[in-house]
Amino acid sequence: MSLFENTLAQIAKASALMGLNPGVRELISRHERILEVSVPVKMDDGTWRVFTGYRCQHNSIRGPYKGGIRFHPDVDLGEVKALSAWMTMKCAVVGIPLGGGKGGIIVDPKKLSARELETMTREYARAITPFIGPEMDIPAPDVYTTGQIMGWIADEYSKIQGRNVLGVVTGKLLAAGGSQGRDTATSQGGMHVLEEYLRESGKTAPGMTVAIQGFGNAGSFMAKFLFEKGFKVVAVSDSKSGLFCVEGLNVPVVMSGKAAKGSVADCLDAGNNCQVITNEQLLTLDVDILVLSALENQVHKDNAETVKAKVVLELANGPVTPEADDILARRGIPVIPDILANAGGVTVSYFELVQNQANYYWSAEEVQAKLKPIMVSAWQAISANAKQYNCTFREAAFISALRRIEDAYKARRSI
Ligand code: NAD
């Protein structure tokens, strides 16, 4: 099953439970626009390469398309289609007035020089310029794209328009019109949801153990927040390998070690008797909480039986396949789904857009104060749906999103 077929299967399950309007179901099964662009770059050695880029615009009934741009060798159209549809659902889950989009370039950015990366980014920005903008489609960072890369896109777009249009992308650095709290927003939102879940299920206990797959923007800040709140982070991993310490890792030491040395496996000084483990081993650790914050399809039908965590938090998009979802549900392991757990990122991206459009900027405290109630109320709606429909949190989250999308269609069209 392709990733987009997975998404359609998730929509189908929730639609059947809630009795979604069939017209709405049909409309959200297709993308409103799919772009494929050529991205030419003159490389440092004088040769030319043409990279393939995508931008998928899934649905805009609730507002302009919104979603990240990924630079990764495994990017493909099916993945971008799925990620853009999840963005439609995610924005609806947290009730922000945006639709779903996503983009990407098939490239290994680690193999480009700084000049090649900037040239490629600016060429991609030019190619998609007619189809993006603060009222049309607002990209953001995703895997292997950064605030600096967003700054280049805003700059290129603004040059073409002949005026500053900072709100064309979010996730920018503060000096380029970014928002306070955007860098930590995804993990902060995930923390709010996790704490609500633990409180409601009565599972809070000091020193709960956590394993975290992926130590980039989402995973490293999640590790930091958990560490600061007294959770015992026993394992983390990146694309190379994992690091395990039964007594708990000193997360700030891992963060600075990874920044200096490039890999979590090089941070053996982050705890007593640290061991290097594989990503596969990390997924099967006997921990209270497993946080997935790397890529999609990490827990699948062949390893879901070996997961021992008591709850899984999806900070990544699509890290658990539908087959694995069924296995975890049968084994009584709740999954707090991506479209809720990582929605703090797009929520603060929305705040950034609002600030750019108003040219009036908020303090970090204001951002935090606005984010928490949104995440808590999204959790409460989903928890209530899960009880009402006797379904998983993922199905409950899709029901929440689809209800809002259905309401928007009904308010605008005779459907
Ligand atoms: P990032 O590029 O900052 O970090 C990705 C991390 O995953 C890196 O540490 C990388 O080494 C690691 N990784 C890659 N392949 C891996 C593998 N096979 N096993 C273990 N680790 C691996 O990206 P990010 O922004 O942290 O995004 C991570 C996930 O979170 C993605 O699915 C992304 O779509 C999702 N997400 C991110 C945000 C955000 O605001 N950053 C918001 C919503 C969703």
Q: What is the pLDDT of residues 229-271, one digit of tens each?
A: 999 999 999 999 999 999 999 999 999 999 999 999 999 999 9
Indicate if ligand 1 lies below 6 Å from the C-beta of 314.
no
Q: What is the pLDDT of residues 20-72, one digit of tens each?
A: 999 999 999 999 999 999 999 999 999 999 999 999 999 999 999 999 999 99
State the Cα–Cα distance between residues 345 and 354, nearest whole angstrom.
14
- Assess contact for 137 and 57: CB atoms under 8 A: yes
Residue percentage of the chain with pLDDT more than 90: 96
- Answer yes or no: same fold for 3-7+20-165 and 185-336: yes
Mean pLDDT score, 302-313: 98
Residue 231: which of 219, 220, 222 has the closest Cα? 222
Q: Are 251 and 257 in contact (CB under 8 A)?
A: no
pLDDT for position 182: 93
- Taking 80 as the threshold, does the pLDDT of residue 349 lie above it? yes
Residue 213 Cβ contacting ligand 1 at under 6 Å: yes
Domain boundaries, the chain: 3-7+20-165, 185-336
Report residue 231: phi and psi, to 5°.
-75, 155
State yes or no: pLDDT of 205 exceeds 80. no
Report field, pTM of the whole predicted structure over 0.75: yes
Is 102 marked active-site?
yes
Give percent of the chain above pLDDT 70: 100
pLDDT at 207: 87
Q: How far is the CA of 294 from the centre of ligand 1 (A)?
A: 4
pLDDT in tens, 140-151: 999 999 999 999
Q: What is the pLDDT of residue 245?
A: 97
Using pLDDT thresholds of 50, 70 and 90, give the confidence band for residue 203. confident
Q: Please work out whether the CB of residue 316 comes within 6 Å of at least one atom of ligand 1.
A: yes
- pLDDT at position 231: 96
Work out which ligand 1 atom sits closest to the CA atom of 342: 43
Alpha carbons 347 and 351: distance in angstroms, whole number: 6
Question: Given a cut of 90, is residue 3 above it in pLDDT?
Answer: no
Q: Is the per-residue pLDDT at 367 higher than 80?
A: yes
**CATH C-level class of 3-7+20-165:** alpha beta
Structure token digits, residue 415: 């459907």
340 Cβ contact list (under 8 Å, min separation 6): 90, 93, 94, 193, 378, 379, 382, 393, 397
Q: Report the nearest-CA residue for atom 31 of ligand 1.
A: 316
The token duo for 283 is 């997924």
Is the beta carbon of 342 within 6 A of some atom in ligand 1? yes
CA-to-CA distance for 217 and 337, rounded, in angstroms? Answer: 18
Note the pLDDT of residue 170. Answer: 98
Q: What confidence score (pLDDT) does residue 6 get?
A: 87
Strand partners, 103: 55, 69
Q: Which CATH number fits domain 185-336: 3.40.50.620, 1.10.357.10, 3.40.50.720, 3.40.50.2300?
A: 3.40.50.720
- The model's confidence at residue 1, banded by pLDDT at 50, 70 and 90, is confident
392 lines ligand 1 (CB under 6 A): no
Mean pLDDT of 310-328: 96
**CA 340 to centroid of ligand 1, rounded, Å:** 16
Residue 2 — pLDDT band, cuts 50, 70, 90?
Answer: confident
Alpha carbon distance 105, 36 (integer Å)? 10
Residues 6 or more apart whose CB falls under 8 angstroms from that of 114 comprise none
122-136, 201-215, 230-244, 281-295: the lowest-pLDDT one: 201-215
Looking at residue 204, what is its pLDDT? 81
For ligand 1, atom 23, name the residue with the nearest CA: 143
Specify the amino acid at residue 226: L
Residue type, 324: A
Tell me what pLDDT residue 171 has. 96
Q: Give pLDDT, residue 384.
A: 98
Ligand 1 near 320 CB (within 6 A): no
| Ligand 1: centre distance to CA 166 (Å) | 25
**Mean pLDDT in the chain?**
97
